[in-house]
Amino acid sequence: MKELNTILLIDDDETTNYLNHRLLARLEAAPDIRVVMNGEEGLDYLEHAFAGVEGYPRPDLIFVDIKMSVMDGFEFLEEYQKFTPEQKGDTVLLMLTSSASFYDLEKLKAFPDVRKHYSKPLAEGDVREIVQEYF
């Protein structure tokens, strides 16, 4: 089983971030849980992480909200696709949504990096499933 060291949460909802961070920490899903507030900040973090900049550990797992201000989840995904497979490595990318609209779920199919989507906030069962399935 692959060790899970760093999780990156990309979401502009502070309450959701708090709940997800608290759940992940309580379940000891990873020793390092990072939070950024939009897709732009997420890309900036990943550029540093993929370049090996100190203080920016490469995330093993990324959760991205679909609906965000500044840069939404789909805009983030379009930019994320530009990273090379070597840069992405075996990072697991999952989407979070508060509204599982048919349109959004269909649109996600165009992004092969997205393994699955989950409703937010995360539930304990979701985290256990993710760790078991991907790590």
pLDDT digits (tens, 9 = 90+) for 76-87: 999 999 999 999
Give the residues of the chain that fall short of pLDDT 50: none
Domain housing 129: 6-134
Half-sphere exposure at residue 96, Cβ-oriented, CA atoms within 13 angstroms: 24
Distance CA 8, CA 46 (A): 9
100 lies in some domain: yes
What pLDDT is recorded for position 1? 52
CB atoms within 10 A of CB 40: 17
**Domains contained in the chain, number:** 1
CATH at residue 12: 3.40.50.2300
What pLDDT is recorded for position 112? 95
Q: What is the pTM of this model?
A: 0.94
61 lies in some domain: yes
In this structure, what token pair is assigned to residue 58? 């490469």
107 lies in some domain: yes
1 lies in some domain: no
51 lies in some domain: yes
